[in-house]
Amino acid sequence: MFERRPSKAEIRSRLQSEVEAFLKKGGQIQKVQMGETGLVDGRYPLGRGYIERPKTAATERTPVPELLAAIDSRRSKSRKPSSSRGSQTRRSVKQKTLYDDFGEPVRKVWIEE
């Protein structure tokens, strides 16, 4: 049902074998200076990744004050002010484990839901 995450040693050995296969095929590894970046003039290349599209009339938002007023009026009706301290809703607090890039647990944090 659930697949086991690969260990760090398995990931390192897989990467090492991929590098060796690349070099055997005639590939070359370029060395770059520390601090050098792949950005062009400090910006990401426009040909790859995120492309910002110009806004068109179809993507602009249309104001609908009547609809917003109706939603706000429903919200105010459904919310009743609590008069006693014991009637407040309790928030559930859960513990969540944060993992690093290799799937190893780093730390546990408490989150409110």
Residues with pLDDT less than 50, the chain: none
pLDDT of residue 84: 55
pLDDT of residue 81: 59
Give the whole-angstrom CA distance, residue 100 versus residue 28: 30
Residue 91, helix vs strand vs coil: coil
Q: E strand or H helix at 107, and its extent?
A: strand 105-112
The per-residue pLDDT of the chain, averaged, comes to 79
